[in-house]
Amino acid sequence: MTILARTRDLTRRYDDKTALDGVSLDIPAGQVLGLLGPNGAGKSTLINVMVGLLRPSSGSVELCGGDPRNEATRRVIGVTPQETGLPETWRVAELVDFVSAHFPDPVGRTELLDRFDLAELADRQIGGLSGGQQRRVAVALAFAGRPRLVFLDEPTTGLDVDARRALWDGIRSFHADGGAVVLTSHYIEEVEALADRVVVLDRGRVLADGGVAEIRGRVRLKRVTLTDPVLPELRGVTSIEIDADRTHLLTDDATALVRELVATGASFTDIEIASASLEDAFLAITGDRSVRPSDLKGQ
């Protein structure tokens, strides 16, 4: 297995604040890694250290076998940070050509624009694009140099559903050709849709690392969904969420909950029972939802 990026006991401090605390990760070729964590968890700091924009306070980081601060090393990666500033008077095609000229074997302009559904914007000035369209251009540019590894920090912020799906297709196309991606997102369904592997960060530490199914499996909670219920007070319910006419109950014992609903004569229809979603697992692991320690396995 070829390791494209590696950190060992990586720590990064800002004055008296520790943003990363002993993070050790291997990122192999051909993998989409989703980084999840609440605001301030250290996701962006980790990416910035791995691409050479920040120095580690201690520990080590290796990128494609070299120092990430070396220009030749960085030439084989692509990056889209959370915030980008593009030249407003340039046309999209001009910007793609300019960025591509910095690489020895860039992706052709037409191919790149088609991959991210941007062909119709080729002759538009950047300043005349919407914020979402500019974001799509910024993400596409990360792939211009035919990189081996791409870092995308909140790539779909500000995009509507159709634009987000188009960007997902571009990422999937790159991955299908053997490319590796490190992705952060506040849209947990995005990570679930794209990632082979999920790393959960909180307070600069890795709390969980594994496949999507494995991370979901670390939480023994079940999601019980009912239509138009009239519910009594129930034992063993971790949380209740209402979405239109559907009510979602999280519980660590779905069988006992259903028995209690029947015994109390509660009114409900269309009951569904499913394993915890990735979002449920994330909230439980990071402590953003009140769950008992026994709900987590292997912590």
Predicted local distance difference test score (pLDDT) of residue 291: 36
| Six token digits for residue 294 | 């026994």
Whether residues 242 and 143 share a domain: the answer is no
Residue pair 61/6 in contact (Cβ under 8 Å)? The answer is yes
Boundary residue ending a domain (166, 192, 210): 210
How many Cβ atoms are within 10 Å of 190's Cβ, its own excluded? 20
Local confidence band at 288 (pLDDT 50, 70, 90 cut-offs): low
Whether residues 250 and 117 share a domain: the answer is no
Find the helix or strand (DSSP H, E) in which 201 lies: strand 197-202
Whether residues 31 and 122 share a domain: the answer is yes
Whether residues 244 and 148 share a domain: the answer is no
Predicted local distance difference test score (pLDDT) of residue 103: 92
How many Cβ atoms are within 10 Å of 141's Cβ, its own excluded? 22
Predicted local distance difference test score (pLDDT) of residue 243: 80
Residue closest to 57 by CA, chosen among 20, 100, 87, 88: 20
Local confidence band at 289 (pLDDT 50, 70, 90 cut-offs): very low
pTM recorded for the entire structure: 0.78
Whether residues 146 and 239 share a domain: the answer is no
CATH (domain of 126): 3.40.50.300
Whether residues 278 and 190 share a domain: the answer is no
Handedness of CA 290, 291, 293, 298 (dihedral sign): negative
Q: Is the pLDDT assigned to residue 228 strictly greater than 80?
A: no
- What are the backbone angles phi and psi of residue 25, rounded to the nearest 5°? -140, 145
Whether residues 274 and 196 share a domain: the answer is no
Boundary residue ending a domain (210, 231, 257): 210
How many Cβ atoms are within 10 Å of 228's Cβ, its own excluded? 12
Domain count, the chain: 2
CATH (domain of 290): 3.30.70
Boundary residue ending a domain (187, 210, 233): 210
Local confidence band at 150 (pLDDT 50, 70, 90 cut-offs): very high
Helix, strand, coil: what percent of the chain each, to 5? 30, 30, 35
- What are the backbone angles phi and psi of residue 185, rounded to the nearest 5°? -160, 145
Task: Name the residue range of residue 206's domain.
Answer: 3-210
Average pLDDT (249-256) is 82
Average pLDDT (106-124) is 94
Predicted local distance difference test score (pLDDT) of residue 219: 61
Whether residues 201 and 227 share a domain: the answer is no
Local confidence band at 255 (pLDDT 50, 70, 90 cut-offs): confident
In a domain, 215, yes or no: no
Find the helix or strand (DSSP H, E) in which 13 lies: strand 3-14
Question: For residues 283 and 152, what is the distance between their CA atoms, to the nearest angstrom?
Answer: 22
In a domain, 96, yes or no: yes
Question: For residues 241 and 137, what is the distance between their CA atoms, to the nearest angstrom?
Answer: 37
Residue closest to 251 by CA, chosen among 262, 241, 263, 243: 241
Question: For residues 114 and 101, what is the distance between their CA atoms, to the nearest angstrom?
Answer: 19
Whether residues 203 and 230 share a domain: the answer is no
Helix (H, G, I), strand (E, B) or coil at 280: helix
Find the helix or strand (DSSP H, E) in which 166 lies: helix 161-176
Q: Is the pLDDT assigned to residue 178 strictly greater than 90?
A: yes
Whether residues 28 and 102 share a domain: the answer is yes
Helix (H, G, I), strand (E, B) or coil at 162: helix
Local confidence band at 276 (pLDDT 50, 70, 90 cut-offs): low
Q: Is the pLDDT assigned to residue 299 strictly greater than 60?
A: no
| Residue range 79-98, pLDDT digits in tens | 999 888 899 999 999 999 99
In a domain, 204, yes or no: yes
Whether residues 125 and 91 share a domain: the answer is yes
Q: Is the pLDDT assigned to residue 281 strictly greater than 90?
A: no
Percent of the chain exceeding pLDDT 70 equals 93
Percent of the chain exceeding pLDDT 90 equals 53
Question: For residues 6 and 62, what is the distance between their CA atoms, to the nearest angstrom?
Answer: 5
Residue pair 110/165 in contact (Cβ under 8 Å)? The answer is no
Average pLDDT (125-135) is 92
Find the helix or strand (DSSP H, E) in which 207 lies: strand 205-210
Whether residues 231 and 176 share a domain: the answer is no
Residue closest to 36 by CA, chosen among 28, 26, 48, 44: 44
In a domain, 229, yes or no: yes
Residue closest to 190 by CA, chosen among 283, 279, 275, 112: 279
Predicted local distance difference test score (pLDDT) of residue 295: 38
Handedness of CA 227, 231, 234, 238 (dihedral sign): positive
Question: For residues 44 and 80, what is the distance between their CA atoms, to the nearest angstrom?
Answer: 11
